[in-house]
Chains A and B, each alone.
Chain A
């Protein structure tokens, strides 16, 4: 154990003092700030501004009810969200007024021009001019309100009593709730689900591939610098491999630890200054526990595979090719992500979440999205642990022979012989 510890210590020290480690450790918080603050900031900027609207209402029936309805919308500051001005225009002046108003929009003097033709009742066409027509909130708000004004008017014209119309045309409001395992309800939207799960999964994928491939590269370096035999003069191949895997794992957990401390600080500061960002960065301790469990298990599984590949390769190029199948099996869950989000309890997804090379990422995604039954989670973890023991056993056998081989890469039958040996 003393020997394994010496190797862990050496790996750890060397990796932590590396420039790449320091840069990545510092860079990630900057990305975190970008991720957490930007959406909040965008929303904040949007809500800060009043929207100036000019209305040309040739039908003389839309402006008054529209203004009445939208005047209820206010900004955080308490000011009304929309500032309406009605323009009275003679029919023959329409074209010249429209063109001068458009210039006002381009010059950012006003934000929106709404032109309601006199025959809106029959044509059902309203013109909406703005610099940004992709603002879904704004356009849908106008569309809904104008539609409802016109349909109310038509219903009344058809002889239905106004109070009845009001009752019949009430809008449905969609309130979204997420039910968690404990039966607790929390207000949550698709965007938030998608966002936090994707970030977690991307981190899983990114760190497993980074640290796994890191082990592979460092083994190739040790092979090329011919240090391997010197180390094997004191330890055996298994102690050597275990020391490397645990050492790199400790490095990755250190990095996570730094990020988490930073993230929590950011969350605290964020919820203080940008209330909106809290919505995107909700940290559930249980989810977090699963994250650590699946990261550690996934890391052990993949780092053992990468270590075996490193031991049979003579150059980074060669290792890159040989490790392609491993990399692919890590990418598949990422490719399937949108499919998993759509239906996390789909039979195929449930099966994939039990297969060891996919389960660290897919089961974690399901835990996040679908609250799968506990037995499924435990089964997945159990299978994963068995697979890790099996893979480490095989990897150690390949490692033991491969580490002292130089020159050609062994063929598959040769590898099988080593494993049986």
Chain B
């Protein structure tokens, strides 16, 4: 089911086109990675979704309703620039965040206690926020973003500043939300984390959407398959094959990048009779590599 639909939004700040004709849609039960370098327009896009700033043109709908302030409570948002009220008690801070998202006070209190227990912070519930370490404040802010049980969760760099144990905890919770049928958008530039958890990838560069698709499709379409080959015999002809994009010869060991649309089978057919093969290994390119190649491509266009 479609949760969010963004259609042709634009935003200009003085001389800079921060967001340029971006469209995408978000469905339930799916984790989306909103990826892009710093200054690509991710935060501006999210702020427009949250109705914090208005787009110059375009349309944003949540559950088929045009976005407005009354729909904010259906969304949980963890901004990249996070703050706290240092002098408030943890429990009061969470109740306050629940209240501004239309959660009744008593319910917010129960939920806050549950989540504090889950994140191992319950013993600090009556302490002031300023007494927490940076990492623990981060956990508190994360709880605050989904305390009101939203249908759509937008998390801007949710893993930054967390230790490995808590990164796993946050991942676990995100996957739980996915199972519950929530839609989740992770905005991040940490590609390896996105690769492990996202189902769908949307890449933005210089305000423009450059990529939008399920992770598998993206890796198939844009990822270049590398092949590592250990062999015996004269393999010099391999580098001359038309199906090879790029290769690196180390003597008895060859690293090959195949051309688009060519797979390992094609390569094997071409070399099987001519050399002895000791070992073949394929490797899909990472999101990071795809990202870098797309961003670099964008640069050469400009």
**Which residues in A have some Cβ–Cβ distance to B below 8 Å?**
2-3, 5-7, 9-10, 13-14, 222, 225-236, 239, 404
Contacts and interface: CB of A to CB of B under 8 A. Distances in A.
A229 B96 contact: no
B88 A14 contact: yes
Interface of B: 47, 50-53, 69, 72-73, 75-77, 79, 81-88, 92, 96-97, 99-102, 141, 144-145
Contact of A222 (B75, B83, B100): B83
B75 A3 contact: no
Nearest to A406: B81
- What 4 A-B pairs have minimum CB-CB distances, sorted nearest first? A227-B83, A234-B100, A226-B83, A6-B99
Nearest to A7: B100
B96 A10 contact: yes
Contacts of A231: 100
A229 B100 contact: no
13 contacts: A2-B99, A2-B102, A6-B96, A6-B100, A230-B97, A230-B144, A230-B145, A233-B52, A233-B72, A233-B76, A233-B77, A236-B72, A239-B69
B124 to A, nearest CB: 19
A225 B100 contact: no
Contacts of B83: 222, 225-230
Given A10-B96, A230-B77, 15 more contacts: A5-B99, A6-B99, A10-B85, A14-B88, A227-B84, A229-B79, A229-B81, A229-B82, A232-B50, A232-B52, A233-B76, A234-B73, A234-B100, A236-B51, A236-B69
Contacts of A2: 99, 102
B102 A225 contact: no
Given A226-B82, A230-B141, A230-B144, A235 B72 contact: yes
B100 to A, nearest CB: 3
A5 B100 CA distance: 9
B69 to A, nearest CB: 5
Contact of A230 (B79, B86, B99): B79
Nearest to A414: B14
Nearest to B154: A233
Contacts of A10: 85, 88, 96
Contacts of A13: 92
A11 to B, nearest CB: 10
Contacts of A222: 83
A234 B101 contact: yes
Nearest to A3: B100
Nearest to B150: A233
A10 B52 CA distance: 21
B130 to A, nearest CB: 10
Contacts of A225: 83-86
Contacts of A232: 50, 52
Nearest to A237: B52
A376 B102 CA distance: 45
A226 B73 contact: no
Nearest to A240: B100
Nearest to B102: A2
A90 to B, nearest CB: 84
Q: Give the residue among A227, A235, A404 with the most B Cβ atoms within 10 A.
A: A227
B44 to A, nearest CB: 11
Of B81, B83, B97, which is in contact with the most chain A CB atoms at under 10 Å from its CB? Answer: B83
Contacts of A5: 99
Contacts of B144: 230
Contacts of B50: 232-233
Contacts of B97: 230, 234
Nearest to B100: A234
A233 B79 contact: yes
Contacts of B92: 13
Nearest to A226: B83
A401 to B, nearest CB: 8
A14 B47 CA distance: 28
A326 to B, nearest CB: 26
